[in-house]
Amino acid sequence: MKINKFSNDLPKEIVSQIKDSIAIDTEATGLKIPERDKLSLIQICDANGEVYVIQPDRKTYKAPNLVSILENNKILKIGHFLRFDKSALEFFLKCKIKNIFDTKIASKVVRTYTDQHGLKNLVFEFCNKNLDKRASSSDWNKDINEFSTKQLEYAANDVIFLHKIKAELEKMLIREKRMDLYESCIKFLDTRIKLDQSGFKFDIFEH
């Protein structure tokens, strides 16, 4: 697997080649963003399967080329559990991500025959692959050139299957007539993120 590594931002010549969709994921120093942890890595995969791993400048978080993709409403952003990734990217890169597809939400809406909605489960069902998650607990804040091959492959695996998974889940949502329900959940996602960032991380709809 070829993985293209970049520091600070994605080059303009690559940005100009991305037209329709990307898969996206992030790594951070922990899960408590923004109150404690920092955005460490951003992984994207284009529709042709080309993988790019970007380590943002952890002081300024200025990445105008990458932001131009995230804010482009004509480019679909596919992610798994975008509640975290969208929140982290918007907070640190000071942007507003438009046009998204969340495979975890789609899975929960349509794969009602199971309670297993992790990325590993979706990759196994739709791509017949077993993900190796052993590198998940890594120091993602060290220099990008210090990452092992296994760590980079782990980061890449979080995006390379998402286009296929999205296509399969979309077919199921249409078949089961649940696309409207899924889209309503996506509309609520920005509000859910605002609640998270305001400290309301519990389910406000519980009794």
pLDDT tens-digit readout, 51-81: 999 999 999 999 999 999 999 999 999 999 9
**pLDDT tens digits for 184-195?**
999 999 999 999
**pLDDT tens digits for 70-121?**
999 999 999 999 999 999 999 999 999 999 999 999 999 999 999 999 999 9
Residue-level pLDDT at 137: 78
**pLDDT above 90 (res 35):** no
Provide the whole-model pTM.
0.96
Give the domains, in start order, of the chain with CATH numbers. 3-130+146-197 (3.30.420.10)
**pLDDT above 90 (res 134):** no
Pairing of strands 100-102, 76-79: parallel
Is the Cβ–Cβ distance between 62 and 51 less than 8 Å?
Answer: no
Residue-level pLDDT at 160: 98
Residue-level pLDDT at 133: 77
Residue-level pLDDT at 200: 93
**pLDDT tens digits for 13-32?**
999 999 999 999 999 999 99
Residue-level pLDDT at 113: 98
Query: Which pairs with CB-CB distance under 8 Å and at least 24 residues apart come from 197-201?
Result: 197/34, 197/87, 197/91
Give CA–CA dist 42/153, Å, rounded.
13
Pairing of strands 76-79, 51-55: unpaired
Residue-level pLDDT at 123: 98
